[in-house]
A and B are shown apart, each in its own frame.
Chain A
Amino acid sequence: MTATVPANARSSLASFYDSVIGKKVVMAVTGLILFGFVVVHMLGNLQIYLGPQAINRYAELLRVSPGLLWGARLVLLGAVGLHILTALQLAKRKMDARPQGYQKYTPTTSSYASRTMLWSGPILAAFIVYHLLHLTVGSVHGDFREMQVYHNVVSGFRVIPVSIAYIVAMAALGIHMHHGVWSLFQSLGVAHPRYTPLLKKFAAAAAVVVVAGNISIPVSVMLGILK
C-alpha cells in the first residue's frame, strides 16, 4: 500500500464512461445543459414581439463580452458534441446487443417519443447546423445583414420552405424533449412514485411551451403579424 494517487484513478473514470450507466449520465448532464439552453433561447427569441429595437439590443447585449460569448458557445458546443458522440456509441451498443431482431415486435406501454430518440436527435443535429448557417453566420440566408436580427428573422421566414423546415425541426425538438426531459432524471437516479409522474408532466409541458413559443415566430411572419 502506498500513499500515492491510486493507479486505477484514470481507469476508474474510463470504466465509469465505459459502463452502460456512465454513458447515460453523460447523456443526462449534456441533455440538461441543452434543455436549459433551449428554454433561455426561446425566451430570447420571443423578444421579437417587442419590436426591432428590443431584439437587436438583446443581440448586442449577448455580444458585450467576447469572452463570455465564446465561453457559453464552447460549453454548448461541448455539450452537443458529447451528447452526439455518446448517442452514437449507445446506438452502436443497441445494434450489437440485438444483432437479430424480432419478426414481430409490439410495444406495450412505451411512448413514441422514447422509441424515436435516435430519429428526433439526428433531425435536431441537422437543424442545429442549418440554423447556425442561416441566422448566425448567414451564409444560407438570401438577405443577411450583420447584427440586424429582426430583419434577418422576418426576411428569413418569408421564404415558406424555410419556415416549414423550422416548424418540422421544432416538432422533433418537442418529441425529443418529451422523453428526454424526464428520462434524464431517471438516468441520474431521481425517481419516486410521488415525483416521477410530475416530472413526466413537467417534461411534456416544457416541450409544448418551448415548441409553441418558437413555432409562433415563423407562423407570425407567414401570417403577416410580424413584418
Chain B
Amino acid sequence: MKLTLHVWRQRSSQDSGRMVRYELADVNPDMSFLEMLDVLNEQLLSKGEEPVAFDHDCREGICGSCGFVINGVAHGPQRGTTVCQLHMRHYHDGDELYLEPWRAAAFPVVKDLVVDRGALDRIIAAGGFISVQTGAAPDGNAIPVPKGNADMAMDAAQCIGCGACVAACPNASASLFTAAKVSHLNLLPQGQPEKADRVLKMVVQANEELFGSCTNIGECTSVCPKGIPLEMIARMNRDYLSAALVRR
C-alpha cells in the first residue's frame, strides 16, 4: 500500500522543528509500524538524508521505549498496544499519517520523535522503591499477601513507563504513571513502612517536573498499553490525602 507520512523533524532540542512530508510506495501490511519507519529510514539514508530518530528496544511491547503520537492518538489506533506492536494491516492504501513526539514541558524533544523521559525516572527515584536489607533470598511465602491486593499490585506493576498517559492527557499530567508506581508498592506488605513518605515524595516530584494536574478526563487509561485503570489515580489521591493529613 501507499502511504503519506507527515513526520515531526527536529534536529536537536535547540532546533524549532517542523512537519516534513514523505511518500512511501510499497508498505507491506505485515510490517510493524516501526518496521515501516525502518523502510523509510533506509530510503532516506540511500538519498543521503538524516533518518527519522525514534526510540525502540524490545519491539515486543514490554520495555516501554517506543512511543509517539499517530494522528492525534498516543501509540496509534489499536487499544492496549505500544507502537512497536501496531501493524500496518490496520491502515489502508492512501492513508495519511501524522507522527508527532510526546508533547509535554517535562518531556523535552531530544530529536525528531525522541523525547527525554528522565522526569519519570526522577519520580521513581523519589519514592518508587522499598528499603530492605539484601542478602539471602527470603522464603517465597514468608509474608502473606491477600489475593485481591496481589492482583491489583500486579495490575499496577504492569506499567512500562512509556509516557503515553502524559502524551494523551489534555493536562499533560503524569498521574496515571505516578499512581501506578505508588500503588504497586503501597498495596503490598513490603511497601507499608514507607507508604506515606512514598506517595508524598512522588507526588511532589511530579509537581516539580511540571506535569499537569489530573482532571479525570480518562484519555490516559484509554491509550495505556497495559490498560492501567483510572481507579489507580483515585487510590493515589486517597493515599496522598491520608498521608498529607496525618503527617507530623
Residues of A participating in the B interface, judged by any CB pair closer than 8 Å: 6, 12, 15-16, 18-25, 90, 93-94, 96-111, 114-115, 117, 179, 182-183, 185-193, 196
Chain B residues numbered 175-215 whose CB sits less than 8 Å from any CB in chain A: 175, 203-204, 206-207, 210-215
Residues B216 and A186 in contact, CB atoms below 8 Å apart: yes
Q: Please indicate the chain A residues that have their CB under 8 angstroms from the CB of B244 in the complex.
A: 12, 16, 19, 22
Q: Does B129 contact A (CB under 8 A)?
A: no
Binds A, one of B24-32, B84-92, B135-143, B226-234: B226-234
Report if A102-B69 is in contact (Cβ < 8 Å); known contacts: A97-B211, A187-B216, A191-B231: yes
Q: A100-B103, A108-B223 are in contact. Are A186 and B237 (CB under 8 A)?
A: yes
Return B178 CB to nearest CB of chain A, in Å.
Answer: 9
Determine the chain A residues whose CB is within 8 A of the CB of B171 once the complex forms.
90, 93-94, 97-98
Question: Quick one: which of A98, A100, A182 contacts B212, CB cutoff 8 A?
Answer: A98
Q: List 15 A-B contacts (CB under 8 A).
A: A24-B237, A94-B170, A97-B173, A98-B104, A100-B103, A101-B103, A102-B72, A107-B219, A108-B168, A109-B218, A114-B216, A185-B234, A186-B237, A189-B238, A191-B234
Could you tell me if A191 and B219 are in contact, using CB atoms closer than 8 angstroms?
A: no
In the complex the two chains form, is A98's CB within 8 Å of B237's CB? no
B20 interfacial contact with A, CB 8 Å: no
CB neighbours of A98 from chain B (8 A) = 103-105, 171-172, 212
- Judge whether B106 is part of the interface by a CB distance below 8 angstroms: yes
Given known contacts A93-B213, A98-B172, A100-B103, what 12 new A-B pairs fall within 8 Å (CB)?
A: A12-B247, A20-B203, A96-B105, A96-B212, A97-B212, A108-B73, A108-B222, A110-B170, A110-B219, A114-B218, A182-B216, A190-B238
- Alpha-carbon distance between A109 and B223 when the two chains are bound, in angstroms: 9
Is B33 interfacial (CB-CB < 8 Å)?
Answer: no
The minimal Cβ–Cβ distance linking B121 to chain A, given in whole angstroms, is 18
Task: Say if the beta carbon of B241 comes within 8 Å of chain A.
Answer: yes
Residue pairs across A and B with CB atoms within 8 Å: the count is 144
| CB-based closest 3 A-B pairs | A189-B238, A106-B72, A191-B234
Q: Which residues of B approach A to under 8 Å, CB–CB?
A: 6, 19, 69, 71-73, 98, 100, 103-106, 168, 170-173, 175, 203-204, 206-207, 210-219, 221-223, 229-231, 233-241, 244, 247-248
Task: Collect the chain B residues with CB atoms within 8 Å of residue A97's CB.
Answer: 104-106, 171-173, 210-212
Question: How many Å from the CB of B28 to the closest CB on chain A?
Answer: 25
With most chain A CB atoms within 10 A of its CB, the pick from B71, B103, B229, B237 is B237
Given contacts A24-B214, A97-B211, A189-B235, whether A103 and B98 have CB atoms under 8 Å apart is: yes
What chain B residues lie within 8 Å of A22 (beta carbons)? Answer: 244
Shortest A29–chain B CB gap in Å is 11
**Which A residues touch B248, using CB under 8 A?**
6
Residue of A nearest to B79 (CB): A108
| CB atoms of A189 and B241 under 8 A apart | yes
Kindly list chain B residues whose C-beta atoms are within 8 Å of the C-beta of A96: 105, 210, 212
Query: A186 to B98, Cβ gap below 8 A?
Result: no
Q: Which residue of B lies closest to A16 (CB)?
A: B244
CB-defined contacts of A190 to chain B, threshold 8 Å: 234, 238
Closest residue of chain A to B73 (Cβ to Cβ) is A106
CB distance from A107 to the nearest CB of B (A): 6
Cβ contact within 8 Å between A93 and B73: no
Q: How far is the CA of A20 from the CA of B215 in the complex (A)?
A: 10
- Closest A-chain residue to B199, C-beta based? A21
For the complex, what is the distance from the CA of A35 to the CA of B217, rounded to whole Å?
Answer: 19
* Closest-CB distance, A6 to chain B (whole angstroms): 7
Contact call A109/B212, Cβ cutoff below 8 A: no
Known: A19-B204, A186-B233. A110 touches B241 (CB 8 A): no
How far is the CB of A220 from the nearest CB of chain B, in Å? 36
A12 → B minimal CB distance (Å): 6
Contact A191 B235 (CB under 8 A): yes
How far is A21 from B69 in the complex, measured between Cα atoms in Å?
27
A104–B98 CB distance below 8 A: yes
Residues of A within 8 A of B172 (CB): 94, 97-98
> With the chains together, A192 CA to B235 CA distance in Å?
9
Contacts of A186 in B (CB 8 A): 216, 230, 233-234, 237
Residues of A within 8 A of B170 (CB): 94, 110, 115
